[in-house]
Structure 1
Amino acid sequence: MYETDGQRLLKMRAQLVKLDAAMVSGVLTVEGADNTGRVTYRTYAEMRQARRDLVQRITALAIAIGEGDGIRRARQVVMTGRSGW
C-alpha cells in the first residue's frame, strides 16, 4: 500500500509521542509507531539524539508538504537591562 506524505508525517508524530513518553518514564525501550517493532536505546543521551533527529525529519517533511514553517528555536537568549546607578 502506498503511504502519502501526510500519513508518514502522522506516523512520525506518533513515534515522537511514544519516544517522549518513554523518556519521561525512564524506559529505554520504545514500541514502533505502528506497533511493528521495538527499539532499545543504550543510554538516555542516545534517546535524546534520536529525538532530535526525529524532530528534524518531522520539520523537514512538514515544510516539504507545506504544513507550516517549521519550528524555530533560539539557541541563545540575550537580555539587556539598565540599572538605576
Structure 2
Amino acid sequence: MADRDQLLAWREALLRARYAGTRIVECDGRKVEYRSDSEMASALADLERRLGTNARITQVRINSSKGV
C-alpha cells in the first residue's frame, strides 16, 4: 500500500490535471489516462478515502465512575 506522501502526490497530480481539463495524470514516473471526468472524480474520492483511513488513533483514554 502507498504511504501518505505518495497518496498526497497522486491527489495533487490528479487535481492539477482535472482543473487543467486534461485526462492524463503523470506522477512518480507513472502515467494514467482516464476516460472521463467522472472516472477522475471516482479516483479522487478513493484517494480521499484512503487518506482519511491513514489517520491512526494513537491513544484511547477511558474515564469511568461507579456513580457514587
- Deviation >4 Å, runs of 4+: none
Task: Return 5+ residue gaps in structure 1 as ranges.
Answer: 67-85
**Highest Rg: 1 or 2?**
2
Secondary structure of the structure 2 residue equivalent to 1:64? coil
Alignment partners' CA distance in 2, 1:65 and 1:44:
34
Q: CA RMSD in A?
A: 2.0
Written as runs of structure 1 = structure 2, the 5 A alignment for 1:1-85 is 8-32=3-27, 34=28, 36-61=29-54, 63-64=55-56
Alignment partners' CA distance in 2, 1:10 and 1:44:
24
- TM-score normalised by L of structure 2: 0.75
Number of equivalenced pairs: 58
Task: Return 5+ residue gaps in structure 2 as ranges.
Answer: 59-68
Query: Percent identity among equivalent residues?
Result: 29
- TM-score normalised by L of structure 1: 0.61
Higher RCO (CA 8 Å, separation ≥ 6 residues): 2
